[in-house]
């Protein structure tokens, strides 16, 4: 499986044509034989039949450390915007995986299609995840944690909170993806029971 991407994906990358191909597809060998090179890799994970106790323990670990977790409404758009602008440069920027925060209005536009769950240290939003129902799955668009609060289980906690909320409305299947360069994100998902289902290669001429 492959698709073609033509995008101006970063200020320091010229407009070019890319081939994004699932690992194991015969097109990989064909492109490599034609002189294409791998410039980025990405992944997809799925979670079926989540372990509720595992999820609840992820939430408890963070709240025991003094953070507060809750679902955010559109009145929290400014907090989420501030978090995302702070973290924008940390997102891997590839043709297959990139995030442009945009303006406050763009962040406010996440509601009502998406639900947002956040972690607060006092009054400051230090982590958040954005999820929506897509094709019967609870599909996570992105998860973001301030550098000062990383490696403390915050990403797992906000994702766990979102999964628990979706379980309560009868959604039991979950999906997300990311860049191979962001191994911390992959590991955070796997710690909650997500299984790696697809890996992709981005080729450039």
pLDDT in tens, 96-144: 787 889 999 999 999 999 999 999 999 999 999 999 999 999 999 999 9
Both tokens of 35, joined, read: 């002189």
Between CA 94 and CA 51 the distance in angstroms is: 33
pLDDT value, residue 48: 97
pLDDT value, residue 172: 97
The residue ranking higher by pLDDT, 4 or 194, is 194
47-67 pLDDT tens trace: 999 999 999 999 999 999 999
- Domains and their CATH numbers in the chain: 44-197 (3.40.630.30)
Confidence grade of residue 11 (pLDDT, cut at 50, 70, 90): very low
C-alpha distances out from residue 30 to 43, 94, 172, 202, Å = 21, 22, 38, 13
pLDDT value, residue 27: 94
Angle at 111 between CA 68 and CA 61, to 5 degrees: 20
C-alpha distances out from residue 204 to 9, 11, 24, Å = 13, 17, 17
For residues 109-145, one letter each, b for 16 or more C-beta atoms within 10 angstroms of the residue's C-beta and e for the rest, the string is ebbeebbbbbbbbeeebbbbbbbbeeeebbbbbbbbb
Low-confidence winner among 2-16, 88-102, 163-177 (lowest mean pLDDT): 2-16
pLDDT value, residue 99: 84
pLDDT value, residue 97: 80
**Mean residue pLDDT across the chain:** 91
Confidence grade of residue 9 (pLDDT, cut at 50, 70, 90): very low
Task: Print the SS3 string covering the chain.
Answer: CEEEEEECCECCECCEEEEEEECCCHHHHHHHHCCCEEEEEEEEEEEECCCHHHHHHHHHHHHHCCCEEEEECHHHHHHHHHHHHHHHHHCCCCCCCCCCCCCHHHHHCCCCCCEEEEEEECCEEEEEEEEEEECCEEEEEEEEECHHHCCCCHHHHHHHHHHHHHHCCCCCEEEEEEECCCHHHHHHHHHCCCEEEEEEEEEEC
- Mean pLDDT value across residues 159-185: 95
Question: How large a percentage of the chain has pLDDT more than 70?
Answer: 92
pLDDT value, residue 129: 98
pLDDT value, residue 1: 61
pLDDT value, residue 2: 46
pLDDT value, residue 132: 98
What's the predicted TM-score (pTM) here? 0.88
């Amino acid at each position: 499986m492959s698709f073609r991407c033509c995008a101006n994906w970063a200020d320091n990358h010229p407009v070019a044509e890319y081939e994004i191909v699932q690992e194991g597809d015969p097109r990989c060998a064909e492109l490599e034989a034609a002189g294409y090179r791998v410039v980025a890799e990405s992944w997809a994970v799925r979670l079926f039949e989540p372990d509720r106790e595992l999820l609840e323990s992820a939430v408890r670990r963070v709240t025991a450390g003094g953070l507060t977790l809750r679902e955010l409404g559109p009145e929290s758009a400014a907090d989420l915007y501030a978090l995302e602008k702070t973290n924008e440069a940390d997102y891997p920027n590839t043709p297959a995986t990139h995030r442009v925060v945009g303006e406050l209005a763009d962040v406010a536009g996440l509601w009502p299609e998406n639900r947002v769950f956040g972690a607060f240290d006092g009054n400051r939003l230090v982590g958040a995840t954005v999820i929506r129902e897509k094709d019967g799955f609870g599909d996570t668009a992105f998860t973001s944690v301030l550098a000062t609060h990383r490696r403390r289980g915050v990403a797992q906690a906000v994702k766990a909170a979102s999964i628990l909320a979706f379980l309560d409305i009868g959604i039991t299947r979950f999906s997300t993806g990311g860049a191979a360069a962001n191994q911390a994100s992959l590991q955070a998902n796997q710690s909650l029971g997500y299984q790696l289902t697809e890996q992709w290669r981005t080729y450039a001429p």
